[in-house]
Amino acid sequence: MAINWFKYSAPTTFYGLAGKLIPWFAISSALLFAVGLYIGFVVAPVDYQQGEFYRIIFIHVPASILSMFLYLVMAGYAALGLIFNTRLSSMMATAIAPTGALFAFISLWTGALWGKPMWGAWWVWDARLTSELILLFLYLGFIALHASIDDPRRADRASALLAIVGSVNVPIIYFSVKWWNTLHQGSTIKFSGTSMHVAMQQAMFTVLVACWLYAIAVVLARVRSIILERERNTTWINELPEVRS
């Protein structure tokens, strides 16, 4: 059976599809969080250097990865909206920004709590930490710029440019530990593999997938509200059962 993918890029069909998918993403995310944290706190051993403190990694690394990937996805949608003038892409970019900002904040917060006992400082202005902070500001700038322009289409275009330009920061975050002397250690998960203990890896990847599913569920829920808001003058919105009641 051939699926017409373009059908789902129209807000009309996407709205219903997203509504059906959200519960599944939400439930599987909650389950995977439980499994990942069980492996991380019960199965995985203590670290030979850092003892129990290293267990912050199971939320710190997934949150950092999500903050960077979500930015690229957001910039990608913003670019699609700018180039093809598709309504849904711009709405998706707007829906992703708050979740990305929260993951960037969680990454910085858990990193500070990890840095204090292990390095001896909550914060240092090294390249990795500073570029991640810039990422948080880029998200906040995107949200603020979009909110400050009344005409939604103009707001989409202006904030899309900011998102696209800011995506230069993502590779800088990733490679900062390689390019400069930083206090932050190098990447544990490299393209060539990892030296990490198996149970630690499993816990980290499970929480990573849980975070992904959580992000998808929240973004879909948010984009549904944005669709309702922006398309409220159309007949299909006024015929929705939740609107008619």
Partner 1 sequence: MRKTKPETLTDMKPRHKRFVFIIAAVAGLAVAVGLVLNALESNVSLYFTPTQVFNNEAPHGRSFRIGGLVEEGSVKRDADGLTVNFVITDRHKSIQVIYKGILPDLFTEGKGVVAQGRVEADGLMRADEVLAKHDENYMAPEAADALKKAEAANAAAAAAAAPASAPAAPSSAK
Partner 2 sequence: MNGLDIWMREHTLAYVWLGSYAVAFLIFAVEIAMVRHKRKITLQQVRMMRDAEDEAGDAN
Applying CB under 8 A, which residues contact partner 2? Answer: 37, 41, 51-53, 55-56, 59-60, 63, 98-99, 102, 105-106, 109-110, 113-114, 116-117, 214, 218, 221-222, 224-225, 228-229, 232, 237-238, 242-243
* Residue 153 is a binding residue for partner 1 (CB under 8 A): no
> Which residues neighbour 80 within 8 Å (Cβ) at sequence distance 6 or greater?
86, 89
Tokens of 213: 């599913």
Q: Is 197 left (phi over 0), alpha (psi -120 to 50) or beta?
A: beta
Q: Which residues ranging from 39 to 78 are in contact with partner 1 (CB under 8 A)?
A: 45-50, 54, 57
Q: Is there a contact between 64 and 107 (Cβ–Cβ < 8 Å)? A: yes
Considering only residues 92-151, where is the footprint of partner 1 by CB under 8 A?
A: 117-121, 124-127
Shortest Å, Cβ 133 to partner 1 = 14
Q: Which residues of 215-225 are buried (b: 16+ CB within 10 A; e: fewer)?
A: bbbbbbebbbe
Please state, in angstroms and rounded to a whole number, the distance separating the CA atoms of residues 43 and 36. 10
Q: Is the CB of 47 or the CB of 231 nearer to partner 1?
A: 47
196 binds partner 1 (CB under 8 A): yes
Asked whether 103 and 63 are in contact (CB, 8 A), the reply is yes
Interface ranges with partner 1 (CB under 8 A): 45-50, 54, 57, 79, 82-85, 117-121, 124-127, 161, 164-165, 167-168, 172, 179-183, 185-188, 195-197, 200
